[in-house]
A = this chain, B = another copy of it.
């Protein structure tokens, strides 16, 4: 059996390992927290710091394949592993581009991929030179994650919220919709494209609150989005799963927002909604099996369960019985013992042929199920 290692032990690792049990594979996982969501589901758990060169190199050097479930890993060690013949998916060169918001934006520009206009800044003070560029979004070059490392700078007054570090100042697009397309690339360069997803965000936490698949898009917007997503992924020259997040505007333009080089929240519905889930698809890539079928089995909606405001401590799921009594829902709780405001604690997928039912139930779940502390 192939030895495959995962760096990171969060919910993405957890769902990857749930699926791994369908395949002949010996799983390894490195993570600092032995109680992390994925830690107990691998065959071999290695406690270690995924941002440390030696830890990552030692972890990977006796494996056949190494993958990630979070970008914040030691890329230098992955580069050395790749040089030594270990398969690293995504390729470290792709990870290097994506991990750094500045490199990521430059990559889009270089490849003529439509993305909101931007300038690069190196300090908070420098933002003063770009007042005429506002309103804009300031995104820190390195270390941003899950809504952190992003600040909206509407006017000069907001400049104090900016980052005093290398960052991208991105012109604000008047967004009509946020969409995501997940693309799978096999080791021999074959691609499989998932149907697009409509994403609805919480404006305060900048966390996805619910999504619908397939997205309701005009045909011309759909084809643009697909072309942009394919181009953005193919030019990375890396196998793996890539989530391409995009904006559409009122004029029917599509703008690339960002890429994640891994399984992604915007693909969780694929576990029940599509023939081959994003997790299944990644295992097919890692283990050299044919790519799976991305077709929709039934349209789906997905509600993220995040820790409720004002509650911190041992997690409790209020309303879980009511939601589990619904006919066409699938609950995924991530096994995190502690909740805090905005923490991703689980998700619920709804499948139905009737879009109104998807929206109705998504809202019903949002108004029924809460993660609070005891």
A41 in contact with B21 (CB, 8 Å): yes
- Bound state CA distance, A337 and B1, in angstroms? 8
Q: Which of B21, B275, B335 meets A14, CB within 8 Å?
A: B21
Do A333 and B24 have beta carbons less than 8 Å apart? yes
Contact of A284 among B324, B328, B351 (CB under 8 A): B324
Q: Which residues of B have CB within 8 Å of A290?
A: 321, 324-325
A211 to chain B, nearest CB (A): 19
Complex CA distance for A164 and B120, rounded to whole angstroms? 85
Chain B residues near A335 (CB-CB < 8 A): 21, 24
Pick the residue among B275, B315, B321, B324 that contacts A292 (CB under 8 A).
B324
Nearest B residue to A43 via CB reads B40
From the candidates B23, B42, B43, B293, name the one contacting A328 in the complex (CB within 8 A): B293
A295: interface (CB < 8 Å): yes
| In the complex, A297 has a CB within 8 A of chain B | yes
Q: Are A297 and B298 in contact (CB under 8 A)?
A: yes
* Distance of A177 from chain B, by nearest CB (Å): 28
Q: Judge whether A22 and B333 touch: CB under 8 Å.
A: yes
Closest 7 pairs (CB-CB, A-B): A290-B325, A40-B43, A293-B327, A289-B324, A22-B332, A18-B18, A18-B21
Mask, A37-48, CB within 8 Å of B = 1, is 000111100000
Chain A interface residue count, Cβ-Cβ cutoff 8 angstroms: 39
| Mask: chain A, 1-13; 1 = CB below 8 Å from B; 0 = not | 1000000000000
Contact with B along A254-274 (1 / 0, CB 8 A): 000000000000000000000
| A133 within 8 A of partner (CB) | no
- Give residues 119-165 of A contacting B (CB, 8 Å): none
Instruction: Specify which of B293, B320, B328 is in contact with A275 (CB 8 Å cutoff).
Output: B328
- Most B CB contacts (10 A, CB to CB) among A17, A315, A324 go to A324
Q: Does A331 contact B (CB under 8 A)?
A: yes
CB contacts (< 8 Å) of A21 on chain B: these are 14-15, 17-18, 41, 335
CA distance A40 to B43 in the complex (A): 5
